[in-house]
Structure 1
Amino acid sequence: MQRMRKKTVLALSIAAMFSGMAQAQESSATEGSTATVVVTGTRVANRSALDTSAAVDIISAETLKNSGTTEMNQALSVALPSLNFPRPSLTDGTDTIRPATLRGMAPDQTLVLVNSKRRHSSSLVNLNGSVGRGSAAVDMNTIPTAIVKNIEVLRDGAAAQYGSDAISGVINLRLRTDRDGGEASVTYGARITEYDLRNDVPPAGGTWSGPASRERTDGQSATVSAWKGLALGETGHLTIAAEYKDQARTERGGYDMRQQYPRLANGAFDPRENTIDRFNAWYGDPEIQQTTFFANAGNDLGNGAKVYGWASFQERDARSAGFFRTAQDARNIISIYPNGFLPLIAPKVQDFSMTGGVTWALGNWDMDTSLGYGKNKMQFQIENTLNRSIGPSSRTAFDAGGFAYDQLVFNLTGVRSLDVAGLSSPLNIALGTEVRREGYELFAGEPDSYRYGGVVLPSGVPAAPGAQVFPGFRPANEIDTHRTAAGAFVDLEANITPQLLASVAVRAERYSDFGESLAGKLSGRYDFSKQFALRGSVQNGFRAPSPQQQNFTSTSTNFINGVPFEITTFKPTDPVAVALGAQPLDAEKSVNLSLGAVLRFDRVSLTVDAYRIKIRDRIVLSENLTQANVRDYIAAQGFIGVGGGRFFINGVDTTTDGVDIVMNWPVNAGAAGRFDATLAANFNSTEVTKTPVTAQLAALTPAPVLFGRANIIAIEDGQPKNKVSANVNWKLDRFGATVRATRYGKTMTPGTVAAFDFPLAARTVVDLEGRYALTPKMTLALGADNVFDQYPETLPPALNTTGNTPFSNYSPFGRSGRFVYARANYAF
């Protein structure tokens, strides 16, 4: 019956489209105003942000420009209290492609659109212990802020309207459409900071100790960007943007109090223990050089038809690090690194996209069809390292392989209005279909990056094979696969009475790899007066498993009691994973409820929106299953030499409750200038109500835990329980300023046991920028992010055993300290 309903929806949608249809066109409005017309969350033309049935935030290009960062995720994190960007370190590829989260959800539970079209995700799946573990999200830092006209953020589930991934909301980046004008910008800044250190557990008998604090000037960052509007004929536009960014790393490591060298023959410490630089870690933001190009074009073909399209390309070279290996570490080779070594991970990321489409009138329908392609590729170079199992002849740099993800999307949509008796407004009818092809490729590194070279350590244990810090992908890991998905939707919206707005949406999708999904949404709004309205929605949604989660695999060899075992991140369909209870991944299912109020008092607007998001069968990455009884069980199933591993699995249920509050208050103070004030807050709480189990593992004694307390705490407490921001923009003649204060609520750094849990207290971060217009075209700005140089608490020795990592990756505002910058903008 369910399959029949889905096929009926698809058939009705296609039939209606071929009788004529169209998509609502974007309308222009003043940026940054709450009266700005929005296209996200509604397909009715000329609806403003305060008139929708769901909460929509609008981030203007001016807001993005008046920020100390050119990184899209970071700029959004200070503009939106419901969006968080934790910026982890020592997390392999996640240092380079850092995900953001909305409403405390996973990074891949927010849909990202460009000009209302689905954006491709990154090829990276986050595997390490940070916020977003197990997800593969869109890398919004591939989009330069210079090309953006504004950003609409729908804070409401929207799977029925837009498809998979829209459980927590939608971020829609709308591109510039200028025919003339332009602007060039040069920004330069650096971290000028001081942070405290803990130095309370020197090695037994050691005579060295570290300082109580440390001053740093690093993270120098230079960004050159420009955009230009060009006319195409009498009606067309071509807006191009380019950006180059060169960012030096930040280093917030602690004092390494470990013994670095072997003791001398007489048992004394090596004298070099007192002279070596013990600040030997790269713990902080990565080193990045990236070049980005973006173009957006459109033209009027006549007779109501228009053509549009955009394209982008970015190349990003990054360098971050793993943990420092001391000179006496068994993993080191003294003849290569007499003072120890810090292995470096140097990914190269290439991102490409191109979309083209046509809009036209067909009867009473406005049609829109488009075809878009995007690809993200990430290749790993491992530097300043070695393959210990090869011995002194080992090289110190390796190509470790990588992965790529690509997406081809076809859309055909349409919108029309229809007068219906009894309704107070025309019925807005939107119908559409979307077909996607997604591909995922994983390719191997060079043999020395993963092979075992035969060396046995003096202890009698064989040396671990592969490039240290990141063993290369093996030929057995290689994969090149794709899937298809097709769906259709119906979206209806109208005023039933002058005060009551109602909308309903239904969407059916079919995936070639896991099956079908059906989502529906009912939302409404009642305006009691021009000053007060209530709005709300109820819906079910879904998120399809990503090809990255379905197909990522990697293998390393560990020697246990001298016996080699293959430790693998298995595909869920791998025979070993199946033997442990894994099953093909299914979609995550959600039920979203929201209820909010809109209040307008003259110039002041206030919105309050409460929500509940219940998710069933969240996809997570399991614990490392390498216990002895797991190895014995695997061997009993006929898999010899397999030491266990981990795999993606459905089975975590969560409930998230929260409320968003946003107040805008523009004030014209006459001779004192104009003030635009925004006060916003998000209060959020997530509870894990179920964790996955398999009958195979439950039968073992002791039964291994598939999803343990540390991962549960990361979901429940790894992001702020609340976030409050106050922002004031001031302008008077040639002068301008922005003052912003953001209070991040407490979070928790999870430990393996309760005694190692470490709470991070609330912190308030203040940003300040002043601007002066030298001429009508030239503006200079000077500012500082984190003016008062706030840091999270320093981790205790139990959570920082090397001294290298004094701060938690769960800090919601990072741990790089004050950033001081200058910027010059020239309009032309």
Structure 2
Amino acid sequence: MRPLHCTALLFAMAGTAAAADKVTDKAVQESNDYYQRPLEQLLRVETQAKAAVGSRGGARDALDAEVPIDIITSAQLQSTGQTELLRALAVLVPGFNAPRPSITDGTDHAPPFTLRGLNPDQVLVLVNGKRLHQSSLLHNNGTVGRGSSGVDLNTIPLRAIERVEVLRDGAAAQYGSDAIAGIINIILKGYGQHSQATVTYGRTGEGDGITRQATLFHSLPLAGDGFVNLSAEWRDRGATNRAGPDAGDGGRINTRFGDTDTQDGLFALNAELPRGDATLYLHGLYDQRRSSAGAFYRTAGDYRNVAAVYPDGFLPRIEPKILDFSATAGVRGVLDDGARWDLSYTHGHNDYHFYVNNSLNTSLGAATPTSFDSGATRYTQQILNADFSKKIGPHTVAAGYEFRQERYRIVKGEPASYMLGGADNYAYGAQGFPGFSPDNEVSAGRQAHSLYGDLKYGVSKRLMLDAAARAEHYSDFGSALNGKLALRYRATDDLLFRSSLSTGFRAPSLSQSHFSYTGTYRNSNDAAAQFWGNFAVDHPVARALGATDLKPEKSRHLTLGMVFQPSAQLTASADVFVTEIRDRILPTGYISAYSLSSLSPQAAAILAQNNIDGAVYFTNAIATRTRGLDLRLDYSQELENGARLKLVGAYQRSRTRITDVNQAPEVLGVNMTDLILDPFTKVLIEGGQPADAIKLWSKYSQGLYDLVLNLNRFGKFYSVSAYDRVSFAAKWTVDGELAVRLKKDITLALGGVNLLDVKPDKWGRTDDSLVGAGKVIQYSQYAPFGYNGAYYYLRVGVDF
């Protein structure tokens, strides 16, 4: 639908509503019924979920919002049996995809997620309404989210979370860069919480993947509704392995394809201290992670092996140490005229340090070390923010200013991790992950200033209009201006229509602009050294090959929906959406005469003059259109004998299509389709994620028992095998948990994830590679629910 048509539709609805009669307040009517209820029932009443995201006028009922918002409660997160936020959201949120990559270097240890099929960096993550920093890791292998950097959700302790708000709408005009697919706002537990200690033990049906978790949440109330909440968590998740036997190595299982072996120490703080009309607040997160995963196995006769060091072959282990922390301090208050203000400072940092063990540098011969420091990537973000809002009758006016400073660094590894020695072998550097060299080191930064304003205008009791605009200026690429118009029209007490039309953008990340990972090799001991790899866009070689400074991705977003609530027990909603993005940033294919047969003589000469075998850089490449549908049903019912039933059903469908391809640099002599859209990349963008998903979550409570069942359908997806598209069928999984309150303060939960031990289809290939039917790699890493099979767990919780 064209923007002009959408705008006309919005104003036509506004005109109809302006003439509406006054409406009966259904909520007031139903509230009168509460006076007739006994105290026991009143204590069990659930009020409508509140959401703070999507509006600067304060928290309001999620169902009355102008845009679709899902609320995931702490109880729902805990009932999934997952110990990590990433996995819990993948179970509960339709359109949220988090596959389990393996043998993908750094991505194994901080896996990405997507929302509505769009990349991790096209989703904005907030904590208590404040922007959370991204990871410094650039996903640079063939995974979902390739070429992007996203937030590492597993740095947040699950027991520290009160709720998660998922805004399924473009919101860059309100929150700035990245809010294209939507926003995930993580609300930490606040006032009135019980202190709790939990211990969890779990393992897969095949006996591996042993998980041990211990969490302590302590809440200290302060005067005047103040509080200090502290969360500490230790999480130890063992590795899984679903690799098949290697026929080329005597039928041994020598490769690890599965989850990493990971240990996390996490800490969270959330505190508020009221002082008159002002409240001081502070929240922070800290995570220190050690993780281990394998690369591909090097057999005894492999040219990358030194038989004197590993006579039977070896499996390199990539074992990073990851440090991630953030802190926000601020003060908010209310002026005499009722205006609200909020001043805050946020600091976030991610340090991803690569270590490689059980490896060698083949070019150093038998004198090679077997453990390496391969260097690090680091990202730091600092934000100053000032927000102001005021309610004027049914209207709300809000405005603010934000200053953001970012810095990205690459730190070189130790010389043995990247150097090319004198041994008669062209393989160089630490096998598994060669280190960053001095040529790769970089320290790049930028600043951004933002001014924004929101207007929520109550046309009548039935109609609310919401307009937003945001102007930003970045020191590296320039300015961006975006706007949003949304409306909510209550046609009857039971039926609400909503719509939004907005523009948005995503600033190119510093890692996309400045990432550099190059290596040196030679074909024989006396040959001249040659280079290969990923070059930053401002590198002389990349410039000579046509690279330019990256432009922001720009988007347009339309949502049309309705909410039907015939009673307090039943709510149904339906929303359709379209998201168009142009100038999407992707890495080029391998620019060389071998991979691009039509490469121009000029480009080939540039490569030859610099002794370069091939090069990759990031560029604004394509435009895409994502269309989708969201359906949701919530039902709750009080049953006999004090029992309660709660059901949540959701369906999401979205498909992304490439609609346009930009021009390739003239110097290369190739078109952008050949340069960017090889079969693998095209399938990854258009079919690498499930086309649809169904989530059916149910909870039955009676007395001391809670029974939770969770039914998931993960839709069909595609991958590429030897440049042929391969289809993987949709699958259903069932999760369940039975929780028993043994005493007033002790709860025992027994449950299982994927109880029917469903696994994705195996590859169908039968060629000589390691990937395919009966081969080492049996499953696609794109599988949305992984490939581990069933997982069982026991959890004990103590309130105090």
Fold-level match, TM-score > 0.5? yes
Q: Distance in 2 between matches of 1:85 and 1:800?
A: 30
Q: How does 1:610-689 map to 2 (within 5 A)?
A: 610-628=576-594, 633-634=602-603, 636-637=605-606, 639-671=609-641, 673-689=643-659
Candidates 416, 431, 447, aligned match of 1:468: 431
Change (3 A) 1:237 1:729: same
Structure-2 separation of matches of 1:696 and 1:32: 66
Instruction: Say whether 1:64 aligns with 2:77.
Output: yes
Q: Which residue of 1 aligns with 2:681?
A: 711
Q: Distance in 2 between matches of 1:553 and 1:636?
A: 22
Q: Which residue of 2 aligns with 1:739?
A: 709
Q: Which residue of 2 aligns with 1:515?
A: 478
Q: Distance in 2 between matches of 1:30 and 1:43?
A: 31
| Aligned-residue offset at 1:707 | 3.1
- Map residues 792-803 of structure 1 onto 2, 5 A cutoff: 792-798=760-766, 801-802=769-770, 803=775
Q: Quick check: 1:805 aligned with 2:777?
A: yes
Q: Distance in 2 between matches of 1:322 and 1:30?
A: 55
8 Å contact from structure 2 (residues 733, 754) kept in 1: yes
Tell me whether 681-690 or 180-189 shows the greater mean CA deviation. 180-189
CA–CA separation in structure 2 for the residues paired with 1:299 and 1:175: 15
Say whether the 8 Å CA contact 1:239–1:295 is kept in structure 2: yes
Distance 1:751 1:504 in 2: 47
2:453 match: 490
2:239 counterpart (229, 232, 249): 249
CA contact (8 A) 1:634 1:642 kept: no
Trace 1:168-317 onto structure 2 (pairs within 5 A).
168-178=181-191, 181-192=194-205, 216-258=206-248, 260=249, 273=250, 278-302=252-276, 304-317=277-290
Whether 1:359 aligns to 2:332 is yes
1:338 alignment partner in structure 2:
311
Amino acid at match of 1:636: A
Instruction: Tell me whether 1:597 sits opposite 2:562 in the alignment.
Output: yes
Partner of 1:572: 537
Structure 1 residues 501 and 670 mapped into 2: Cα distance closer, same or farther (>3 Å)? same
SS at 2:439 equivalent: helix
Per-residue CA shift, 1:274-301, capped at 9, x if unaligned?
xxx6111110000001100111111111
Structure 1 stretch displaced more, 493-502 or 162-171: 493-502
Cα contact 2:502–2:556 (8 A) shared by 1? yes
**What's 1:817 paired with?**
789
SS at match of 1:391: helix
Deviation at 1:250, TM superposition (A): 0.2
Contact map agreement 2:545 2:668 (CA 8 A) in 1 = no
Contact kept? 2:306, 2:365, Cα under 8 Å:
yes
Farther-moved stretch of structure 1 (565-574 vs 777-786): 565-574
Matched, 1:786 2:759: no
Contact 1:489–1:506 (CA under 8 A) maintained in structure 2: yes
1:93 partner amino acid: G
Q: How does 1:40-119 map to 2 (within 5 A)?
A: 40-119=53-132
Provide the secondary structure at the position in 2 that maps to 1:377: strand
Q: Secondary structure of the residue that 1:797 maps to in structure 2?
A: coil
- The structural deviation recorded for 1:363 is 4.5
Give the aligned partner of residue 417 of structure 1. Answer: 391
Asked if 1 retains the 8 angstrom alpha-carbon contact of 2:664 and 2:675, the reply is no
Give the number of aligned pairs: 747
| 8 Å contact from structure 1 (residues 580, 694) kept in 2 | no
Match of 1:120 among 114, 118, 133: 133
8 A Cα contact 1:159 1:519, kept in partner: yes
| Alignment CA distance shift 1:322-1:30 (3 Å) | farther
Instruction: Specify the SS of the correspondent of 1:284.
Output: coil
Describe the superposition over 1:3-44 as per-residue Cα deviations: whole angstroms up to 9, x where unpaired: xxxxxxxxxxxxxxxxxxxxxxxxxx9999671221111223
Amino acid at match of 1:821: Y
Matches of 1:688 and 1:664, distance apart in 2: 35
| Corresponding residue SS for 1:710 | helix
In structure 1, how many angstroms separate the alpha carbons of the residues matched to 2:380 and 2:571? 42
SS of structure 1 residue aligned to 2:320: strand
Q: Is the CA contact 1:613–1:657 (under 8 Å) kept in the aligned structure 2? A: yes
Query: Separation in 1 of the partners of 2:521 and 2:44?
Result: 57
Q: Which amino acid aligns with 1:618?
A: R
Instruction: Say which of 370, 376, 381 aligns to 2:355.
Output: 381
Question: In the superposition, relative to structure 1, how do residues 758 and 563 fare at CA in structure 2: closer, same or farther (>3 Å)?
Answer: farther
- Distance change (3 Å), C-alpha of 1:495 and 1:228: same
Tell me which residue corresponds to 1:542.
505
1:219 aligned counterpart, secondary structure: coil
Residues 221, 759 of structure 1: CA spacing in aligned structure 2 closer, same or farther, 3 A cutoff? same
The CA deviation at 1:514 is 0.5
- Do the aligned residues in 2 keep the contact of 1:634 with 1:640 (CA within 8 Å)? no
Does 2:489 correspond to 1:526? yes
The CA deviation at 1:634 is: 4.5
Give the whole-Å Cα distance in 2 for the aligned partners of 1:31 and 1:176: 20
Decide whether the 8 Å contact of 1:434 with 1:488 is kept in 2: yes
Instruction: Provide Cα deviations, 1:316-361, integer angstroms capped at 9, x if missing partner.
Output: 0000111111111111111211111111100100011111001123
Q: Which amino acid aligns with 2:386?
A: L
70-79 or 559-568: which moved more?
A: 559-568
Distance 1:231 1:800, change over 3 A: farther
For residue 529 of structure 2, give the secondary structure of its aligned residue in structure 1.
strand
1:141 matched to 2:154? The reply is yes
CA distance in 1, matches of 2:540, 2:443: 19
SS at match of 1:218: coil
What code does the residue aligned with 1:475 have? P
What secondary structure sits across from 1:750 in the alignment? strand
* Structure 2 letter corresponding to 1:740: N
Name stretches of at least 5 consecutive residues in structure 1 with no aligned partner.
1-28, 193-215, 261-272, 420-424, 457-461
Paired with 1:542 and 1:654, the residues of 2 have a C-alpha distance of: 14
Measure, in 2, the Cα distance between the counterparts of 1:539 and 1:31: 40
The separation in 1 between residues aligned to 2:320 and 2:135, in whole angstroms, is 13
Give 3-state SS (helix, strand or coil) of 2:147's partner. coil
Tell me if structure 1 keeps the 8 A contact 2:603–2:668: no
* Equivalent residue in structure 2 for 1:350, among 302, 313, 323: 323
Query: 2: CA distance between counterparts of 1:436 and 1:733?
Result: 51
- How much does 1:601 deviate? 2.0
Matched residue, 1:24: none
Report the equivalent of 1:19: none
TM-score if structure 2 supplies the norm length?
A: 0.91
Contact in 1 for aligned 2:536/2:542 (Cα 8 Å)? yes
The amino acid of 1:428's aligned partner reads T
User: Which secondary structure state, in structure 2, belongs to the residue aligned with residue 68 of structure 1?
Assistant: coil
- Asked if 1:449 is matched to 2:423, the reply is no
Alpha-carbon spacing, 1:631–1:332, altered in 2? closer, same or farther (3 Å)? farther
> 1:630-676 CA distances to partner (integer Å, 9 max, x unpaired)?
59644634842122221111121000000111100102121372110
For structure 2, list consecutive stretches of 5 or more residues without a partner in the other structure.
1-41
Range with bigger deviation, 558-567 or 401-410: 558-567
Distance change in 2, residues 1:124/1:361 (3 Å): same
Determine if contact 2:216/2:232 at 8 Å carries over to the other structure. Answer: yes
1:541 aligned counterpart, secondary structure: strand
Q: Is the 8 A contact 1:692 1:706 kept in 2?
A: no
Give the superposed CA RMSD.
2.0
1:100-125 Cα offsets, whole Å, 9 max, x none, are: 11111111100000000000111101
Structure 1 residue 253: Cα displacement? 0.1
For 1:311-326, what aligned pairs fall within 5 Å after superposition? Answer: 311-326=284-299
**Quick check: 1:771 aligned with 2:739?**
yes
